[in-house]
Structure 1
Amino acid sequence: MSHMNGYVQEASGQAKSHRERAVDCPGDESSLVKSPHSSAHMERIQHYQEELKKRREEDSRGKHDIDPNASLRLKKLSQNPKVGIDNPTFEGKEKVTKDAFLQDPVAELAELLQALKWAHHCLTDAQSQQDVELIMQLLAKEDFKNAYAIYIAVSQQMTSVIPTSPLTAQAEDLCQKVQKILQSSQHQEGLELNALLTNPHLQAHGSVAGQEIAEESLTQYIGETVKLVRLEKARDTPLGATVRNDMDSVLVSRVVKGGAAEKSGLLTEGDEILEINGTSIRGKHVNEVHDLLQQMQGTLTFLLIPSSQIKPAPHRQTVMHVRAYFDYDPSDDPFVPCRELGLSFQKGDILHVISQDDPNWWQAYRDGDEDNQPLAGLIPGKSFQQQRETLKKTITDRSPEHQGRLWYAKKNKRQKKKSTTTLSRNIDDDILTYEEMSLYHQPANRKRPIGLIGPTNSGHDELRRRLLSIEPEKFAVAVPHTTRTSRTHERNGREYHFVSRPGFETDLTAGKFIESGEYEKNLYGTSTDSARHVINSGRICMLCLHTRSLQVLRSSNLKPYVIFIAPPSQERLRSLLASDGKTPKPEELKEVIEKAREMEQNFGHFFDATIVNMDPDQAFHELRRLIDKLDTEPQWVPTSWLC
């Protein structure tokens, strides 16, 4: 998608809000305002570039000159001209080293022959004398003298001028070309050279050299620091940086995770780009930078003025996994810095946040999209999203027509509170953005409770009864509590836990009931202790939930897995209910579907999975598949559950 992106500053008198634009994507250029050029600043930058060019040429010429100060031994010899081959005093013999003879290989051979002649006279063993004579004959040959002169010349270059960086980044390409030429060669030298070029150690050295050549180089002059950076722009790997106009400057605005710029670590936010591959960028608009980079591939050489901002100490980025509790579409967000980099997601999606350097705009991947999405996308930061949702809610609440609706809502809420006995917090009052998540694999002996939730006549209660009847040894329900008196055939702890009304109300106030209600002046409820008793027995606790039970269940340490059973279309729902002998009215069918839509809208972020009950058998098999998956695959749960 985007290799490098534009960050546009709108200007009309004063600077307005910024917007980044992906350079590789076409856009409406009429809305982009070019900044005026500063000729004085431009001449200053050109002067810097000319100075840098001169220094490069001087450095290139200086590479082939031997600096006596580079070697302590050469420095001592240069200070004492009497010490050398022509005047080998005793003190000089101790100081003369290989560096002293780099300029005269013939003289070095002459001294070596002289030493061999002296050794020949001192030897009494005939075999040793014969060996020395053979060596002297070899040294006297013209071919040997020429070969030795070549060796000295090469040694001089290698020892006196050691390159600080690789000479080329195309070593691997050159190696492959030479190997193709040598494929048809039958000469011994060609075979040996081919064996050297295919050596894995040499190939590894070439790879390391290729990385080293991309390292940044700093040059200090005229009070400014100019940075040269080389990056490889491959077709399948985006560059991953954004830029913005600041007057006539082009600055790096954002480094996006997953791109070549981020992996190299050579581009920094706030760096000013002067040149790209020798083309001046100063004074260009981001649209022109877009057109320029569209035509460039391979090695990109940036001439930069590093950012003057104080950089924080580098720290290891840790990935934070969150579940989104709202839908987000960057195309509808006027505040997103770069619409092309915006990452859309839906309520309930798992997002891998890999950078929070910008607290307002995090960089993230959707779960499962890492392989198909090379660059990270931008999503609103948690605090930023909460602030604007709060502002939106405040503006809405202050509107006259909403104030009327809000008054009636409060009145209805008070009336409802009198008729319910369930202790639950109104979670709609919270502004939900993200919740941190972690992977959890349920233990074999402690199964997660399964909570089925859905509107009346959606089929969730029928699915629970079917599971309990088929495998009672695997599935069970929590024994409920009640304040009514037991009947003759009932036993305490089997059909119900029979408790007093004061005791029930005390536990209700303490939040020990997942759900509760009153029927014919008797209280009924399912407690967390009853559900925990089923879990401790190794069975799976099946629960049919009301929406007001979700918060209590999630606040416990039971780690529930909640499945929403959604009704099908109105006509299909009528057909299913008719097969069970029910004849609902059209308005009743419509109410079921509307209730399901409302539940999903308000509580869908708490659902781990959804089953649309189009067919009872298919829905049952899908339910079994989801439950069995908990034994084989880890699931995302709130991190707070694992603390």
Structure 2
Amino acid sequence: MMQMQAHNGSVNYSKGEMNMRGDDSLAHREMAIDVPSSFVPHPKERPRLTNSGKEEKLKKYQHDIKARKDQELRLQKEQDFLRASLRESKKLQNLEKRSGAANGNSASPDGFVNKAFDRDGGEYASMNEAVSDKTKWLESARVDVGKAVSTQQILNLLHALRAKLGNNSNELRVMNNLFNNVQFQDSVTLYNQVTKAKKGDKPTSSPPQPIAPDVYAAIQRSESKQAMQLRDILLRPPFKEVLLPRGHQAMLSTISADTQSPVSPVSSSSRVSAVEKADQYGESKIDIIHVRKTADPLGATVKNEGESVIIGRIVRGGVADKSGQLCEGDELLEVNGIPMRGKTINEVSDLLAGMTGELEFVLVPSGSQRYSRDMQERKTSVRALFDYDPEEDQFIPCQELGVSFTTGDILHVINQEDPNWWQAYREGEEDQALAGLVPSKLFWENREQLRLQILAETAEADNQTACCPSGKKKRKKSQYGVDEIDTDDILTYEEVTQYFPQPNRKRPIVLIGPPDVGRKELRQRLLETDSERFAAAIPHTSRMRREDEEDGKDYYFTAKHLFEADIRANKFVEHGHFQKDFYGTSLESIRQVVNSGKICVLNLHPQAIKSLRVSDVKPYVVFIAAPNMHILKENITKSSGKEPTVDHCRNIIDKGREMEIKYSHYFDFIINNSNISTAFQELLAEVNRLEVVPQWVPSEWLK
């Protein structure tokens, strides 16, 4: 895939440009050609696991656990067998008998006397003389391992063996024929050269570059087994970088790009020297490279700088990225003999759209360094805290490569070389041929700051022209009666990592949602379903204890001044005031339930989530959404026995929407409470899943 870029994609945009929604020059700075169908610009649906998908993941996780247990059991059985074998060993029993005899036991030790170990004489002395006699001639022909070995040294060793063993040995005759073989002698010479190269010695042969093109052309034409083996050896990095310049490395990449369809050799007419091309274009250095474009997209973008066509981006996963020949900043002069200078991005797009097979690029190298393979494999996972649609973004370099996502989606960022646009895959879409483009954290922060500044200036201008009758400026408040989100708190991404469930430390389940949506009923059902598994955090209060209440069971009864001191010390995740008395849920109460091995079930206001997330309890937030007006009215009537008003139902729905707008980046799971029984089963299934399936959590939680 080749895309076109007209501007450099910098982040320095004016306020006027932010409002230019109809500017075509900003809409398409890069244009895709053979982009995969999955990147056709249309909103993508957020990937969600179906019930069958959840069951499949659960089965896989359980299978892995069983396999690990089987492995541990097998190792345990092997250890037991070895221990039993030692105990039943006859040698060990003989040693025990001998030890008993030494301690005064009448039992005589079994065994025999080995005269070879009589150091005073006998067989040991004669054997020692024989060994010392044989080592004398071996030392004369000793060959140090790791040093260069000549065929003459090997023949000397053979003669020494023949002198001792005689000429009638069949093995010596075979070895003599082998050592005198010309091919074997050539192999020894090659071994000596490799040994010198490993030690850093300079090779005695002349530089290989002049004959490299002919060698690789022969490899391309040959289909023999030896040629294939040589090709595999030369494709490895040490030989690839040492033997060939970058232009000829492309030949090797072309050979390995498509093993199913062999590459035809480049014709002599197209094999023009780089020196001739440099003279033709008036450049000091020219590279000629070959890349095979198959069914996989090319994965490169270009931009116009005057009349020049410059490679602006290498997209991870494409042929250009795998071949390693095209670099960002290279200027394209020709593609398959067609000049590129002076062409517009649309013309280049049309030319390259239908090109397949081997492509010959004549280019001016930029000298930029590519990332190593280790850097390319390095991946950062983040959770998106905002919604993004590339179709609505006029600043994205290439809309066809844009990745749309919603709040809560997991993105695997594999390249952050561009400070403005990251290359990433969305969770569940790692099989895409190419990575997509998403705005970087810094780029999105700058854009949001500029947008909020424009909104603030516009609101200030409106307030100056349209004031309320009292002469005071209008002040917007949320329907919940709390201040709006701080303008400095711009939501971008949150780095995440996988968290594996711990059997003795369960994550608390936090239910949030608008009033009368059914949170209390769902919480009560969980607590009543299994009291050994679910528990509630015991709240604190400053009111007086009643006769039927027990401190530490119904409430923690605290003096009012102590309660106020705990509030100032931020010990409560949520607290309130009712009839001059304080009520609240402390972090320590939640932690006690977690440490007991039970699942703590909480009903909290969304504002309490922020303080809970910075603690060590790792909450799992479930948002209970309201259904439509008709169903909500029926649910409230069934639960309370009174029919609610239309305004009351509308207020519940509006507050739920406001919560989603302000706090959806905290949500881990959403349940639409159309039916309380169905919602409970869905909640219980999600809680069960949390105990066996890894989850994405903020990286800070595991640090």
Task: Output the TM-score relative to the length of structure 2.
Answer: 0.62
Provide closer, same or farther for how the CA distance between residues 294 and 329 of structure 1 changes in structure 2, counting only shifts above 3 A.
same
Q: CA deviation at 1:214?
A: 6.5
Provide closer, same or farther for how the CA distance between residues 470 and 164 of structure 1 changes in structure 2, counting only shifts above 3 A.
same
Aligned mate of 1:320, from 380, 387, 390: 380
Provide closer, same or farther for how the CA distance between residues 477 and 225 of structure 1 changes in structure 2, counting only shifts above 3 A.
same
Aligned mate of 2:327, from 263, 268, 289: 268
The AA in structure 1 aligned to 2:453 is: T
Q: CA deviation at 1:442?
A: 2.5
Aligned mate of 1:401, from 462, 483, 488: 462
Matched, 1:546 2:580: no
Contact 1:507 1:513 in 2 (8 A): yes
In the other structure, the counterpart of 2:249 is: 215
Q: Superposed, which structure 2 residues align to 1:503-522 within 5 Å?
A: 503-522=562-581
Provide closer, same or farther for how the CA distance between residues 525 and 357 of structure 1 changes in structure 2, counting only shifts above 3 A.
same
Matched, 1:164 2:212: yes
Provide closer, same or farther for how the CA distance between residues 232 and 402 of structure 1 changes in structure 2, counting only shifts above 3 A.
farther
Q: Superposed, which structure 2 residues align to 1:420-499 within 5 Å?
A: 429-499=488-558
Aligned mate of 1:627, from 687, 691, 694: 687
Provide closer, same or farther for how the CA distance between residues 428 and 443 of structure 1 changes in structure 2, counting only shifts above 3 A.
farther
Contact 1:396 1:402 in 2 (8 A): no
The AA in structure 1 aligned to 2:691 is: D
Matched, 1:559 2:557: no
In the other structure, the counterpart of 1:6 is: 4
Q: Superposed, which structure 2 residues align to 1:13-32 within 5 Å?
A: 19-24=29-34
Q: CA deviation at 1:516?
A: 0.6
Q: CA deviation at 1:352?
A: 1.1
SS of corresponding position for 1:394: helix
- Which string of whole-angstrom CA distances, capped at 9 and with x for unpartnered residues, describes residues 494-551 of structure 1? 1000111111111111111111101111100000000000000000000011011111
In the other structure, the counterpart of 2:402 is: 342
SS of corresponding position for 2:212: coil
In the other structure, the counterpart of 1:572 is: 631
Contact 1:513 1:528 in 2 (8 A): yes
Provide closer, same or farther for how the CA distance between residues 351 and 313 of structure 1 changes in structure 2, counting only shifts above 3 A.
closer
SS of corresponding position for 1:393: helix
Q: Superposed, which structure 2 residues align to 1:82-231 within 5 Å?
A: 163-164=211-212, 175=223, 203=228, 205-206=230-231, 215-216=249-250, 219=274, 224-231=284-291
Matched, 1:254 2:313: yes
Matched, 1:601 2:661: yes
Greater RCO (CA < 8 Å, at least 6 residues apart) = 2
The AA in structure 2 aligned to 1:401 is: D
Q: CA deviation at 1:414?
A: 13
SS of corresponding position for 2:428: coil
Identity %: 44
Contact 1:272 1:306 in 2 (8 A): yes
- Which string of whole-angstrom CA distances, capped at 9 and with x for unpartnered residues, describes residues 238-296 of structure 1? 11000112222111011111111112221111101112122222222222222222221
Provide closer, same or farther for how the CA distance between residues 558 and 219 of structure 1 changes in structure 2, counting only shifts above 3 A.
same
Provide closer, same or farther for how the CA distance between residues 166 and 321 of structure 1 changes in structure 2, counting only shifts above 3 A.
farther
Once residues 290 and 489 of structure 1 are traced to their aligned partners in structure 2, the CA distance between those partners, rounded to angstroms, is 81
SS of corresponding position for 1:484: coil
Q: Which moved more, 1:437-446 or 1:205-214?
A: 205-214
Matched, 1:329 2:394: no
Contact 1:24 1:290 in 2 (8 A): no
Contact 1:216 1:227 in 2 (8 A): no
In the other structure, the counterpart of 1:139 is: none
Q: CA deviation at 1:354?
A: 1.2
Once residues 625 and 263 of structure 1 are traced to their aligned partners in structure 2, the CA distance between those partners, rounded to angstroms, is 43
Provide closer, same or farther for how the CA distance between residues 428 and 388 of structure 1 changes in structure 2, counting only shifts above 3 A.
closer
SS of corresponding position for 1:548: helix
In the other structure, the counterpart of 2:345 is: 286
Once residues 622 and 341 of structure 2 are traced to their aligned partners in structure 1, the CA distance between those partners, rounded to angstroms, is 58
Aligned mate of 1:536, from 583, 595, 615: 595
Provide closer, same or farther for how the CA distance between residues 538 and 204 of structure 1 changes in structure 2, counting only shifts above 3 A.
farther
Provide closer, same or farther for how the CA distance between residues 562 and 540 of structure 1 changes in structure 2, counting only shifts above 3 A.
same
In the other structure, the counterpart of 1:616 is: 676
SS of corresponding position for 2:538: coil
In the other structure, the counterpart of 2:125 is: none
- Which string of whole-angstrom CA distances, capped at 9 and with x for unpartnered residues, describes residues 184-220 of structure 1? xxxxxxxxxxxxx6x6x86555556678697148956
Once residues 587 and 3 of structure 2 are traced to their aligned partners in structure 1, the CA distance between those partners, rounded to angstroms, is 53
Once residues 484 and 173 of structure 1 are traced to their aligned partners in structure 2, the CA distance between those partners, rounded to angstroms, is 92
Once residues 229 and 637 of structure 2 are traced to their aligned partners in structure 1, the CA distance between those partners, rounded to angstroms, is 73
Q: CA deviation at 1:23?
A: 2.9
Contact 2:327 2:370 in 1 (8 A): no
Q: CA deviation at 1:396?
A: 0.8
The AA in structure 2 aligned to 1:347 is: T
Once residues 592 and 300 of structure 1 are traced to their aligned partners in structure 2, the CA distance between those partners, rounded to angstroms, is 62
Q: CA RMSD in A?
A: 3.4
Once residues 265 and 599 of structure 1 are traced to their aligned partners in structure 2, the CA distance between those partners, rounded to angstroms, is 48
Q: CA deviation at 1:302?
A: 1.0
Contact 2:219 2:227 in 1 (8 A): no
Once residues 481 and 338 of structure 2 are traced to their aligned partners in structure 1, the CA distance between those partners, rounded to angstroms, is 73
Once residues 219 and 614 of structure 2 are traced to their aligned partners in structure 1, the CA distance between those partners, rounded to angstroms, is 61
Q: Superposed, which structure 2 residues align to 1:347-426 within 5 Å?
A: 347-371=407-431, 373-399=432-458, 400-401=461-462, 407-409=473-475
Q: Which runs of 5+ in 2 are unaligned?
A: 9-24, 37-204, 241-246, 252-272
Q: CA deviation at 1:9?
A: 4.6
In the other structure, the counterpart of 1:79 is: none
Q: Which runs of 5+ in 1 are unaligned?
A: 11-15, 27-158, 176-196, 418-424
Q: CA deviation at 1:233?
A: 1.0
The AA in structure 2 aligned to 1:380 is: P
In the other structure, the counterpart of 1:232 is: 292
Q: CA deviation at 1:611?
A: 0.7
Q: CA deviation at 1:8?
A: 2.4
In the other structure, the counterpart of 1:590 is: 650
Contact 1:258 1:376 in 2 (8 A): yes
Contact 1:214 1:229 in 2 (8 A): yes
Contact 2:327 2:368 in 1 (8 A): no
- Which string of whole-angstrom CA distances, capped at 9 and with x for unpartnered residues, describes residues 397-440 of structure 1? 112236779954478999969xxxxxxx9666511111111111
Once residues 600 and 392 of structure 1 are traced to their aligned partners in structure 2, the CA distance between those partners, rounded to angstroms, is 21
SS of corresponding position for 1:19: coil
Provide closer, same or farther for how the CA distance between residues 352 and 167 of structure 1 changes in structure 2, counting only shifts above 3 A.
same
In the other structure, the counterpart of 2:142 is: none
Contact 1:441 1:630 in 2 (8 A): no
Provide closer, same or farther for how the CA distance between residues 568 and 416 of structure 1 changes in structure 2, counting only shifts above 3 A.
closer
Structure with the larger strand share:
1
Contact 2:538 2:589 in 1 (8 A): yes
Provide closer, same or farther for how the CA distance between residues 208 and 568 of structure 1 changes in structure 2, counting only shifts above 3 A.
farther
The AA in structure 2 aligned to 1:22 is: A
